[in-house]
Amino acid sequence: MKHIKGKDRRQSSLFPVSLEDAIDNENTVRALDNFVNGLDMEKLGFKVHFPENGRPAYHPATLLKLYIYGYMNKVRSSRQLEKECRRNIEVMWLLECLVPDHNTISNFRKDNPKAIKMVFRATVEIARNFGLIGATLIAGDSTKLRAQNSKKNNYNQKKIDRHIAYIDKKLAEYQGQLEKGDGDRKEVKGEIEKHRKRKQGYRELERKLGESGKEQISTSDPESRHMIVRNNITEVAYNLQSTVDARHCIPIDYKVTGNNDTKAMGNMLRRAKTILRTNGFTALYDKGYHTGSEFKTAHDLGIATLVAVPDIGRASRAPDPAYNAEHFEYDGKEDTYTCPQGHVLKSNGSRYKARNYFFKQYKTKSCRTCPVRGLCTTAKQNGKIIQRSEFKEFVDKNDERMAGNQELYKRRQAIVEHPFGTIKRQWGFDHIMTKRTRARASADVGLIFIAYNLKRILNLIGKKANIPVHRALNAILRAAERISGRPRPICRPKIIAAHFGPLSAKSLIFDYI
């Protein structure tokens, strides 16, 4: 039976193939190479100048290329990237046969979180200049990424107390053995010393927990938090906030936090306004972001929000839903509420302090004799009491917009879950590679989003076969000028692979000469 046969490995070639010839003209690695070459690394915050004496350092562009290539191809480990430098012909071409040590590779990621964030900004600017950012509708959400810290090494006060109580119990047992003369005295004393050291360690953890002012502390990655990941499953993780433009599901911003979503929306909207350079967009968020103070921030920024309305808590429900608080009409001029029975509820003028806001209370004496009191409230003495937050008017405006824009809101999940689904399900990036600080975690996430945006941009412009070349050139030039903060008059754009077949994503490759 005939089979296709390969070449003899020992056969030499009269015309050896160079690395340049081995990489196809439309290979995505060429676009990556020219993207990084077009960045002003020093302006972005990378360290470019090193002391003359000593061993030469790798240029940051070299390590950035390696990382972006790795993340685009599902390789994040510094040791694995080092292996790719030796065996992957695309990486050999990209790095010009350089082979950085895995420690050098790892240090680059953990030492440059801010500069990596600026590279991400460059991808957003390029997408904008290609017309891939609509800036009229955005969606925000969060996802949990597991930290490099096990649940075993995460502690709160209750867990510390439990460990100390167990150690005290064991110490009492060992002390009793010494007094009775049971067992090997030397062995028992060794156990006592071991448990005392463990107790000392927990006391030190208790001290650090108190100084931090937090409810929990992690030993391997101190800034990570024990949180619910999904369906009551908990992990020690980071909460990744992301803002995504609706036109082509391109992330425009990200932030790694250790907090939940309740106080996140306002800050993300403020950043989105700066990035998009407009407030003329609508923002979609799920009910986890339904917080009065955040609506006030959005109103001050001039941004319209569509945030899902959470279900009414059991404590706020009336026995008959027709008498829930939303059916009481508020009179802003008189500062009163009118119940469905026509009774007026008034405030005593005092403001009360809740955890994060102030509120007023409204009630009426008519409750005592009201014939439908049993349908309205379960309170036996004071009757119906309505609390009005200082942010209630902003909450009501959002809820009114939600009622009239249900179809628009339905797009939220498809917009913001597109990047998360690709990153976590398709690429398998469901955890943070770095540990010890949130800044290092941010660098890891930044590289993920850089890889995602570059892939997305190349795929999208590849579908636009009639995209004008001058528009593509202008996009790169304008992005480079904006990121570097200065014009580049000495740079002339050159298309190095624009004549290989119809215009496509991989043939839109640029260089600066």
DSSP β-bridge partners for residue 251: 244
**Position 100 pLDDT exceeds 90:** yes
User: How many domains are there within the chain?
Assistant: 3
pTM of the model: 0.82
Instruction: Note the pLDDT of residue 501.
Output: 34
Tell me the C-alpha distance between 397 and 408, whole Å. Answer: 16
**Position 288 pLDDT exceeds 60:** yes
CA atoms within 13 Å, Cβ hemisphere of 479 = 27
Final residue of a structural domain among 172, 192, 218: 218
Instruction: Note the pLDDT of residue 192.
Output: 85
The CB density around residue 334, as the number of other CB atoms within 10 Å, is 10
Name the residue among 36, 37, 132, 39 with its Cα closest to residue 479.
39
Tell me the C-alpha distance between 123 and 62, whole Å. Answer: 18
H/E/C letters for each residue in 291-313?
Answer: CHHHHHHHHHHCCEEEECCCCCC
* Tokens 């009481």, located at residue: 328
Residue 341: pLDDT band with limits 50, 70, 90: confident
Mean per-residue pLDDT of the chain:
83
**Position 102 pLDDT exceeds 90:** yes
Instruction: Note the pLDDT of residue 488.
Output: 42
**Position 320 pLDDT exceeds 90:** no
Task: Answer whether residue 494 is part of any domain.
Answer: yes
pLDDT over 90 for what percent of the chain? 40
Residue 241: pLDDT band with limits 50, 70, 90: very high
Residue 25: pLDDT band with limits 50, 70, 90: confident
Task: Answer whether residue 132 is part of any domain.
Answer: no
Final residue of a structural domain among 195, 218, 241: 218
**Position 487 pLDDT exceeds 80:** no
Task: Answer whether residue 231 is part of any domain.
Answer: no
Cα radius of gyration rounded to whole Å, the chain:
30
**Contact call for residues 504 and 26 (beta carbons, < 8 A):** yes
Tell me the C-alpha distance between 38 and 32, whole Å. Answer: 10
Instruction: Note the pLDDT of residue 2.
Output: 77
Give mean pLDDT, residues 362-390: 82
Give mean pLDDT, residues 502-508: 39
Task: Answer whether residue 338 is part of any domain.
Answer: yes
Mark whether 103 and 171 lie in a shared domain: no
Name the residue among 362, 366, 368 with its Cα closest to residue 342.
366
pLDDT, tens digit, for every residue of 146-189?
A: 888 888 888 888 888 899 899 888 888 888 877 777 667 788 88
**Position 307 pLDDT exceeds 90:** yes
Task: Answer whether residue 184 is part of any domain.
Answer: yes
Burial class (CB in 10 A: 0-12, 13-18, 19+), 404: exposed
The CB density around residue 72, as the number of other CB atoms within 10 Å, is 20
Instruction: Note the pLDDT of residue 65.
Output: 96
Residue 483: pLDDT band with limits 50, 70, 90: low
**Position 38 pLDDT exceeds 60:** yes
Residue 481: C-alpha distances to residues 39, 125, 167, 274, 453 (Å) = 9, 10, 62, 17, 19
Task: Answer whether residue 173 is part of any domain.
Answer: yes
Task: Answer whether residue 505 is part of any domain.
Answer: yes
Final residue of a structural domain among 340, 356, 390: 390
SS3 423: helix
Domain of 326 in residue numbering reads as 314-390
Tell me the C-alpha distance between 158 and 205, whole Å. Answer: 12
**Position 463 pLDDT exceeds 60:** no
Instruction: Note the pLDDT of residue 416.
Output: 92
pLDDT, tens digit, for every residue of 43-88?
A: 999 988 888 787 888 999 999 999 999 999 999 999 999 999 999 9
Mark whether 96 and 160 lie in a shared domain: no
Task: Answer whether residue 305 is part of any domain.
Answer: no
Amino acid at 140: G
